[in-house]
Amino acid sequence: MARSSLHIQISAHDRPGILAETLAFIVEVGWNVVDIKQFVFNGMLNLSILLDEDDESLIPPLREALSGYAEQRGFKVAIYPWKQESESPYPHRSVVTLLCETFPSAGFLEITKTFSDLDINILRIEQLDSGDIHVLEFVIGTRKAHSAEDVLNALVRFKENYRVDIAVQEETYFRRNKRLIVFDADMTFLQCEVIDELGKLAGQGEKMANITRKAMSGEMDFKSALRERVGFLKGLPVKVLEELSDNLPLTSGAENLVRILKHLGYKIALVSGGFDFFIQKLCSRYELDYGIANQLKIENGFVTGELEGEIIDAQAKENALVSLAEKEGFSLRQVVAVGDGANDIKMLARAGLGIAFNAKPIVQRQARASINLHDLKLILYFLGINGVDLQELNDVVGRGAVQAWPDEK
Which of 115, 197, 125, 192 is closest to 154 using CA atoms?
Answer: 115
Which of 405, 374, 339, 382 is closest to 98 using CA atoms?
Answer: 382
The β-bridge partners of 79 are: 8
Which of 374, 151, 163 is closest to 250 using CA atoms?
Answer: 374
Which of 316, 321, 315 is closest to 338 using CA atoms?
Answer: 321
All residues at 6 or more sequence positions from 304 whose CB lies less than 8 Å from its CB, including other chains = 234, 297, 298
Q: What share of the chain is helix, strand, coil (3-state, %, to 5)?
A: 40, 30, 30
- Single-letter amino acid code for the residue at 16: P
CB-facing half-sphere around the CA of 324: CA atoms within 13 A? 29
In the annotation, is 186 catalytic?
yes
Helices marked H in 55-134 — which ranges? Answer: 59-73, 105-117
**What are the strands, taking DSSP E only, across 259-340?**
267-275, 290-299, 302-308, 335-339
Residue of 186, 196, 313, 375 marked active site: 186
Phi first, then psi: give them for residue 312, nearest 5 degrees.
-90, 90
Cα–Cα distance list, 76 to 28, 243, 316 (Å): 21, 69, 61
What is the strand order of the sheet 120-129 is part of? 120-129, 134-142, 92-100, 165-170, 369-371, 353-357, 335-339, 180-183, 267-275, 290-299, 302-308
Residue of 184, 196, 276, 344 marked active site: 184
Burial of 139 (0-12, 13-18, 19+ CB in 10 A): middle
All residues at 6 or more sequence positions from 319 whose CB lies less than 8 Å from its CB, including other chains = none
d(CA 165, CA 379): 11
By the 8 A CB rule, do 368 and 169 touch? yes
Report, as residue numbers or ranges, the catalytic residues: 184, 186
